[in-house]
Amino acid sequence: MPDRGRIVSCVTEPPVQVALRLRARERVVVHGDTLAARWVAALALLIAGSWLTVLVVRAHHYHPNWHTDGRLGWSLTILAAVALIARGIFLGRPVTAAHAIAAATALLAGLAVHLLAFDITADVLIASSGLALMWPTTARPEPEQLPRVWALVNATGGDPVAPFAMQMLKSYHFNAEGTAAIAYRTRLGYAVVSGDPIGDEDRFDDLVAEFVGMCHTRGWRAVVLGCSERRLELWGNLRAVPIGRDVVIDVPGFAMVGRRFRNLRQAVQRTHNVGITTEIVAEQDLDDGRLAELTDVVLSSAKGARAERGFSMILDGALTGRYPGILLIVARDGAGRVQGFHRYAVSGGGSDVTLDIPWRRRGAPNGIDERLSVDMIDAVKALGARRLSLAFAAFPEIFNDKERGRLSSFFYTAIHLGDSLIALESLYRYLRKFHALGDHRYVLLPLSQVLPLLVVLLSLEFLPRRRQLPGPTVSASE
């Protein structure tokens, strides 16, 4: 039997010398979050600004061509560099060895270019040295923390997005006891938290306070994407902006009875009529035959075969067996060919089951997704699950509004511009068949930072990454 470990993505440790060199480059040489650093920055900014003011006044009065005076250009360049440095210091950003090297390189390059009489390019390089010196640090992904994170996910009940904390690109902040954690990523000076904390909820208040303090020392501004209603009070003064609602099935009480479930019943019945059958298998237990069949479905699907996206409400590594607690429900046609499958993640010791992502072959029979969802609900009911989350319904109020005003119409049009990435309205029409809209979720942010945060959040959710699909295995005898 081929070694299943060959298809599991793993992170290899770098050689000792490389690891030491990386740590040396990341060593903080100046802490920006100090009163002395702020005083120095303010004084330098005042001196540079005052000098520029004096120079402009003198040049204007005594030199007809004052704007061509080289001293003015140098003063503007120095002021720009000092202003960028002062901004970084007031944001509390530390200076690492790598920052210092980059800034020195830009400064020396600017001086060299100036000697070659390329004044504008030289000024830009010198000014950019201030930007390089105070460029925000980043947190490295921590896939090696998966065993600890999985233990906390398995202990977290009632949170549909808890399993997504395992995504391998995320970093983690644990409390001292390791009984609670926050999953996050950093980008452009923001620490974007993914959903709610996981683990022991009695430790969440202290955990969030420690996390905010840690962000402050590193010059990061904390933002939360996908915060639930019940955790809003954890994050203090951040402004809550609703972005949608969970869709959570009450598993013990679910039944397709009544007129409102008519469309759902019809969709499921269509799949029975064409001979669709389903089976459930743990992702880590896939044999080579099933793995090849499901990989073929991914490659032949209409979306995301070669790239994966997402941050706060999705996992990665489909079919690799990387994550524990992953179940697949597979639909086959009458000839035994796989037509689609859904990937689910389990949390809360089995009390909660969450849909990660659905896959279906091009041309698969209508009703496949509804059938897979309903059969999964029935299966986990027998296993004692309490809740099954189908997906996240983004902006349902906009899609439900039949008399949209100008603002609603603008947002409705803007949402449809992203249909090539994710068709939110089509997803909502599907989810609406289950009549299970739950609690709202929010993005928590300072309103003064909306525009840069829009870039940060959209890039985290929609920038593509190469999908690592399992490749063919080779037996030991070959």
Contact 90, 44 (CB under 8 A): no
* pLDDT > 90? residue 27: no
**474 pLDDT above the threshold of 50:** no
Quick one: average pLDDT of 395-406?
Answer: 79
Encode pLDDT of 71-116 as tens digits. 667 778 888 888 888 888 888 788 888 888 998 999 899 889 888 8
Q: Give just the sign of the alpha carbon dihedral 135, 314, 301, 284.
A: positive
What are the residue boundaries of the structural domains of the chain, listed by start?
16-133, 146-241, 245-439
Contact 389, 355 (CB under 8 A): yes
Question: Residue 449 is inside which H or E element, if any?
Answer: none
Q: Please write the tens of the pLDDT for every residue from 315-328.
A: 999 999 999 999 99
The predicted model gives 290-314 an average pLDDT of: 87
Name 445's bridge partners.
Answer: 239
pLDDT of 71 = 65
d(CA 131, CA 135): 6
Q: What tokens does 283 get?
A: 């992702």
Most confident of 41-55, 294-308, 407-421, 449-463: 449-463
The model's pLDDT over 329-369, given as tens digits with 9 standing for 90+, comes to: 999 999 999 999 999 999 999 999 999 999 999 889 999 99
- The helix (run of H) or strand (run of E) holding residue 259 is none
Place of tokens 């100036």: 114
Task: State residue 59's pLDDT score.
Answer: 59
Positive or negative, the CA dihedral 294, 362, 305, 269 is: negative
Better-scored residue on pLDDT, 417 or 241: 241
Largest CA distance in the chain: 92
Do the beta carbons of residue 293 and residue 355 sit within 8 Å?
no
Q: Which CATH architecture has domain 245-439?
A: 3-Layer(aba) Sandwich (3.40)
In sequence order, the 6+-apart residues with CB closer than 8 A to the CB of 458 are none
Pairing label, strands 190-194, 221-228: parallel
Specify the pLDDT at position 182: 98
Please tell me which of 114-128, 301-315, 352-366, 406-420 the model is most confident about, judged by mean pLDDT: 352-366
Tokens of 284: 């880590």
